[in-house]
A and B are shown apart, each in its own frame.
Chain A
Amino acid sequence: MATESPNPSPFGRVLRSPVPFSVLGALVVGTLFLLATGSDPVTAYGAVVEGAFGADGIGSTLSSSTAVIGLAVALAIPLRAGLINLGGDGQMVLGGITAAAVGLYAPLPAVLTVPLCLLAGMAAGAAYAALAAVCQNRFGVPLLVTSLLLSYPAVSFASYLARYPLKDPASSLPQTRRLPAGVALPEFGTSTVTLGLVLVAAVAAAFYFVDTRTPAGYEIRMTGLNSRFASYAGIDRPRLTLRLMAVSGAVAGLVGAVGVLAFPFRFTDGSLTASGDTWTGLMAALLASAAPVGTALAALFFAALKVGGLNMERVTEVPSELTDILQAIVIVFLAARFTLKRRRRAASSPESPAQAPTPAVPAAAPEKETA
């Protein structure tokens, strides 16, 4: 149970948590893979670390983690109340294409266009995510399914816009025209890290603040732990669902807009979704039980692993799939809450108290809803 208890001793908690064991376990499995394929584990892992945190790599890690952390936080926000948003891709892509359209057509000076793009992207993501919430509130179709199914048409729609109305006639790629000069987020020095990272970090900080310090955050957490308790206490669940989804979609849309306002300053069909950041972000959120700090850290870790893996592939001959495998194994271990201590616990508590995230899994069987 990774609920953030109010008595904070973060390091102790991390050490007692399954994190170290899981990372270690994954490294061991990875070592076996490396040895089996005749590679040197030390060099390989060294290349991962160097690639992710070395002087040349840290910039890439930070710019990669902009999207991953952003999406992780986006998905963690409703997850904190037990709502799974599987439509991050669609919301992000709509945010991106909206930002691109606004950036291309807004008759304003660049300084004003940039925030307008961000806001428009957030609004598009929010509206689309809210649609999934409305489907659950109005029609009773589980959010998990509606958000997932709605995602595909959104991606298709954005793809259509990028290939026809907003198409860059000079390019063979399905992409919009390049945004006018200056319609871009400022970059830090010569790196690829943009102001987007600051925005995402601000969102994560705001999430942390709301979660730990405000009555609203408290209500969200309680809803996640027991939604019937929440309704009993007067928390309006449909409204909360709508709001959380809207915020979630807004953050996903922000990530899309940030992606468009960074190099190469246009919306390219498929480029926002190709790296699977939505899944990585969802994993980070799920693993941390949507706790803000844990979510952000897990997202950063996954981003670093990915960037480092690419460097490993460049330096050694080990395929970068290895880091994908490592990531998945860490997740499997973590999800199974593999700690050395847990076995004893499990034996003494048949009613698993480890139901913190309560991912509201929809009941497929009709009979189950009679209660």
Chain B
Amino acid sequence: MPLLRTELARRVAGDLEDGWCVNVGIGAPLLLPGQPTPGKEILYHCEHGLLGVGPPPEGEPDPDITDAGKNPVTLLAGAAAFDSSVSFAIARGGRLDLCVLGALQVGEHGDLANWLVPGGNPGVGGAMDLAVGARRVWVMMNHVDKQGNAKLRKACTFPLTGVGVVDRVYTDLAVFEFTGGALTLRERAPGVGLEEIAARTEATYTVDLWNRGAAA
């Protein structure tokens, strides 16, 4: 069974490491600060200038506390506010342990396309800065697009966000990892077969599944 959006968020959250500073891009990654990470303290970074963001508020939202998608969120212990140039100094300066972005397409050598469908409405936000700056870039996306086309492709056909920047891809069907620029299938969603993944993936990849008993 393909993972639901929140199941995918929980799956990604499970791989975060204690103490990481993590930027979450618009779309599905914005679900991450709402996921429990027991025993781990994660500092979520919002590109416009907040650090230490938590789940959506239960009471009245504060209009000055929003995520990158402009949704109301909360601030946790250790939160800090700063201007957008400092925020991107954190990103470009290599102080983000991880950035989690949505994607339209991912190429088999780690290229990322996530900001423009040709002929569509342009809007790049901070994706290009985050893609080149973060120590790790994970993509979180549906395995195929609404028309059923593979999003993991030999090469991106849409305009790029960054070249060779992606480290991992988490989809509703599987987890892939780039190692030395080559793509490896690491994990299948529960009940999803290797054949189904292969049928819905255009990119070339090898299969070397994580041993679930070992550290991911």
A and B held together in a complex: no
